Amino acid sequence: MSDPYHIHDARLLVVDDNQENIDLLLAVLNQAGYTNVSATDCATEVAALHAKHNYDLILLDMQMPGLDGLDVIEALRRVEQNAYVPVIAITANPGYKIAALQAGARDFITKPLDVAEVNQRIHNLLEVRLLYRKLAEQGRMQRQMALHDHLTGLPNRRLLEDRIETALHHAARNHRMMGLFYMDLDGFKAVNDTHGHECGDNLLRMVAQRLLGACRQQDTLARIGGDEFILLLTHIDDMSDLMRPALKILESLAAPFQVDGRTLHISASLGVATYPVDASNAEELICRADQALYEAKRAGRNRFHLANMLARPEPARART
C-alpha cells in the first residue's frame, strides 16, 4: 500500500467543459484531502499541460466540444513518456466506457457521480500510478548504480569504456584526435593510513568535484578504483588542447583541502595518451596512458607525462 500522504499530494487534473461539473469534482477532491489539483475546460490543451506537469491522474470528461475524450487520450499517448496514460474517463454514455478503456484509459466513472465511488476509484488508481513510478525510479537508480561509482557519483570503468569506444568511432570517422588522462593521487595511501578510510573517502569526493571543475562539459571524468581517475577528452585539435587541461588539473589540486577539520595537501600525477598518435584502440589507449603515468611518478610526481615521449612501452608497475 502507498503512503496516504503521497497519494493526497499527487498531481491531479480535472477536464470538463461544464464549470459546474469542475466545481463539483474540485469540492470532492478537496474534501478527500487532495492538495495539488488543477482544472481546465479546454480539451485541446490537455496534452500540452500533461507534457509540462506530468500529472499523476487526469479526470477526463469524454464528451466535450473541440476534441472528445477519445481524441484527448490519443494525444496523451503521444506525450506520455512511460507509455502509461493516467486517465479516469467520466461519462454519462455507457457506450463510451469500453471505448475509453480500449483507447488507454485506466478506469471510468459514470455520471451522475457517486462520491464514495469517485473517491475509491481515484485512490485505487493513484496507488497503482505511484507504485509504477516507484518501480520506474528504482529501475533508473539501479541502472545509475551499475554505471557510476558509488562514492563520487562519477562514471565507473564500465561506462568509461563505452564512452571511449564511442569517442574512438567518432574520431576515426571524422579524422580527429582524442586524448586520455590516467590520474593517480600522490600520497593518498598516507592519508588513509594516518587519518582513516572515512577521511580518505571524503577527500576523494572533494577531489572529484575539483577535477570536474577543471574539465570541459563534453569530456568524461571517471573513477576507476581507489585513488585512480581517468579523463577522456574528445575533439582535440593539437597537443595544446591536452596540455592546458593537464596544467589546469594540477593547479586545481594545489590548494589545500579541509577534510573533517584537517588541512590536507594532495597532488596528482598524470599520464597522457592520444588517439591516433599513441594507440588505435581503447585497451591500448588506457595502457599507454598508464605507462606515461608511471613515468610522471618516477620523475617526481605532481606533473604530467606524454605517452609519445616514451622510448618504448613498459609494463604497468605498482604506485603509491
Catalytic residues: 227
| Nine-digit cell string for 318 | 605498482
The CA–CA distances, whole Å, from 230 to 5, 74, 220, 273, 289 equal: 44, 47, 8, 11, 9
Rounded (10°) angle between helices 46-53 and 69-79: 30
* Torsion angle of C-alpha atoms 117, 121, 122, 124, degrees rounded to 10: 140
Burial of 30 (0-12, 13-18, 19+ CB in 10 A): exposed
Q: Grid coordinates 557510476 are at which residue?
A: 148
Pick from 71, 64, 47, 60: which is nearest to 109 by CA? 60
Dist CA 292 CA 299 (whole Å): 11
Beta-bridged to residue 87, according to DSSP, are 58
Dist CA 93 CA 232 (whole Å): 62
Q: Which residues contact 46 (CB under 8 A, 6 or more apart)?
A: 13, 15, 40, 58, 60, 72, 75, 76
